[in-house]
Structure 1
Amino acid sequence: MIRIHFIVNPIAGHGRSSLTETLLELYFVRGVHQLTVKHSEYKWHASQLTRESISEKANIIVACGGDGTINEVASCLIGSTIPLGIIPIGSGNGLASNLRIPKQLRKALEIIKNQWTVKIDVGKINDRHFFSNMGIGFDASVIKHYESSQKRTLSGYVRACLISLRDMGQNQKLSVSINDLNHFVDPFIILISNSNEMGYNLSLTPKASLQDGLLDVLIVSKIGRMKMLWLGVLIILRKVYWLKEAKSFQTKQLQLSRNDKNYFESQIDGELQEIDKGNLNISIQEKSLSVLVAE
């Protein structure tokens, strides 16, 4: 018997998720698959439900939601033999898009039934993890305004960008070191990517790979408003490197430090989070998560 546990974020995708055991049983084989559906009720609840599923000897654990839900579930599976399945029902679905997991329920469930797995890299920030990307500066400000918006759509994301542009100048005072060779102070954007997708098919690091053992880092130094608008165009075109203030690196580790004793306001896999004061040590854990994908 293959025990498959589904961890569902009921408010993902504007709350349109209607995944139930009755519905899912239509796609699986009775007597071969044993299905369990659990719904998260608050932030980090998905992690608690995942840990319970691990103790209940689940063979496969499926994150049903967006990148934030995937982060909560997958963080519990790092180094485990239990593979992660994904049903992308969030707003951006950046990691699922990178892994070519379709939004159509039937096709996503076929991937889970076939059980074809790959190993992917995982980003680590002190004792936390990310799977797509993490960002500080303008990127985090956008997510902050996006989360407070009632529109979890591309138009809502664009509006969050415009509000963040209005608030420019309030960015955190940061110092960045990469391999002790490159040093930057107070950049406009710091984005560290494991995946080449941010959601909505947007990307600041189009060459990033989930399996190359490297983090792709984009740092954009301070720029004026006109350059910011030009940057927006280049993001859509996936040509950020045309901006001379944009510097790209690949590395296995880097350090961020603040010039004060406040928390880092950042986005981690599309979710706003306040993370540790002082220094952030960011690194890559190579091929440490098993994920179900199409053959």
Structure 2
Amino acid sequence: MADYLFILNPNSGTSIGKNIDSVARAIEAFAKKTDNTSHILFTESPGHASELVRQNKESSPWKAIVAVGGDGTVNEIAQPLLGTAIPVGIIPVGSGNGLARHLKLPLRFDQALNRLFTGQAITIDSGLIDDIPFFCTAGMGFDAYVGQLFSKQATRGLATYVNVSFNAYWTYKPQQFTVDGKKLDAFSLSFANAGQFGNNAWIAPHADLQDGILDQCTISPFPKWFGTSLAYQLFTRQMKPSEYISYQAITETIIQTERPPVIHYDGEPLQLETTRIKVSVRPKSLNIIV
């Protein structure tokens, strides 16, 4: 028998918030059926998941501490577990579920629970952007702009994200960055530990969570007609170097901007207060159940 700590985010992208009691009961029943013990806690505000992990990670020899939520919840739970032996488990019920999709974890609730209790732990890399850990993707430019707009919407999910992205596309203007001393204009600047943003939008199809590098994807300014091609490549896993898209394998880079930028890390937007942003990788820093 093993002890699992489940941390549920009632505000994740699916209907979990409306059914949180039944979700908790389902977890308890499934754990009991498989001769495991479940301990369930609920988040109450942004950042609360990290606090709950810090408060409870030493209270039992946990088989895993499990994020029941989206990539933001996974991020909050994983941050305090960096460099520890305790694995993160994922029950993906968020808007995009980028890390779960990259790891080919089941998206169905019952199948995800079964994988959690029968899976094995692997060790993956993590990234840092301005000293903030991320596990899937991070970046600045259009993706961060959309993330900021999306975070203000009353409803979540793919349809809302597509609508926000489409409207933003027509008004967004590329920005100027200085990357390791070289000036460039870019539509977006992304750093991929995992291969996708979520919802199977693959920004870096060849990204590997265990190779000790980040895939830097720079999308240069392009004519409006290219947007359809770009979206098609993203959602068909066909992004590749071209006239407007370039890739670079990095372990560390320094970006400077004219004004403090909005960034995103694992889909969470953040307005920085600095114009100098360091991005780096931490190889083999997190254990995760797959």
| TM-score normalised by L of structure 2 | 0.91
Check conservation: 1:86, 1:96, Cα contact below 8 A.
yes
Check conservation: 2:141, 2:187, Cα contact below 8 A.
yes
3-state DSSP class of the match of 2:189?
Answer: strand
Please say if 1:287 is aligned against 2:290.
no
Question: C-alpha displacement at 1:172, in angstroms?
Answer: 4.4
- After TM superposition, the structure 1 stretch with the greater mean CA deviation from structure 2, 230-239 or 114-123, is 230-239
Match of 1:47 in 2: 50
Check conservation: 2:176, 2:183, Cα contact below 8 A.
no
Please say if 1:150 is aligned against 2:148.
no
Match of 1:37 in 2: 40
Question: C-alpha displacement at 1:276, in angstroms?
Answer: 4.7
Check conservation: 1:234, 1:242, Cα contact below 8 A.
no
Question: C-alpha displacement at 1:30, in angstroms?
Answer: 7.6
The runs of at least 4 consecutive aligned structure 1 residues that moved more than 6 Å come to: none
- Match for 2:211: what amino acid? D
Question: C-alpha displacement at 1:58, in angstroms?
Answer: 4.8
3-state DSSP class of the match of 2:203?
Answer: coil
Match of 2:217 in 1: 218
The match for 1:132 among 124, 133, 136 is 136
Check conservation: 2:131, 2:278, Cα contact below 8 A.
no
- Match for 1:35: what amino acid? S
Question: C-alpha displacement at 1:176, in angstroms?
Answer: 1.4
Q: Equivalences for 1:11-26 in 2 at 5 Å?
A: 11-17=11-17, 18=20, 20-26=23-29
User: Separation in 2 of the partners of 1:224 and 1:168?
Assistant: 13
User: Separation in 1 of the partners of 2:123 and 2:50?
Assistant: 20
- Match for 2:256: what amino acid? S
Match of 2:114 in 1: 110
Match of 2:267 in 1: 270
**Residue deviations 1:227-251 (CA, integer Å, cap 9, x gap):** 3333223323333336412111111
User: Separation in 2 of the partners of 1:2 and 1:129?
Assistant: 28
User: Separation in 1 of the partners of 2:34 and 2:189?
Assistant: 50
- After TM superposition, the structure 1 stretch with the greater mean CA deviation from structure 2, 150-159 or 186-195, is 150-159
- Match for 1:46: what amino acid? A
Structure 2 unmatched ranges of 5 or more = none
Q: Equivalences for 1:197-216 in 2 at 5 Å?
A: 197-216=196-215
Identity between Structure 1 and Structure 2 (%): 30
User: Separation in 1 of the partners of 2:232 and 2:210?
Assistant: 29
- Match for 1:95: what amino acid? L
CA RMSD of aligned residues (A): 2.1
User: Separation in 1 of the partners of 2:32 and 2:159?
Assistant: 41
Check conservation: 1:231, 1:243, Cα contact below 8 A.
no
Check conservation: 2:129, 2:138, Cα contact below 8 A.
no
3-state DSSP class of the match of 2:25?
Answer: helix
Check conservation: 1:21, 1:35, Cα contact below 8 A.
no
Question: C-alpha displacement at 1:111, in angstroms?
Answer: 2.4
User: Separation in 2 of the partners of 1:168 and 1:25?
Assistant: 46
Please say if 1:7 is aligned against 2:7.
yes
User: Separation in 2 of the partners of 1:242 and 1:127?
Assistant: 29
Question: C-alpha displacement at 1:20, in angstroms?
Answer: 5.0
User: Separation in 1 of the partners of 2:105 and 2:256?
Assistant: 36
3-state DSSP class of the match of 1:55?
Answer: coil
Structure 1 unmatched ranges of 5 or more = none
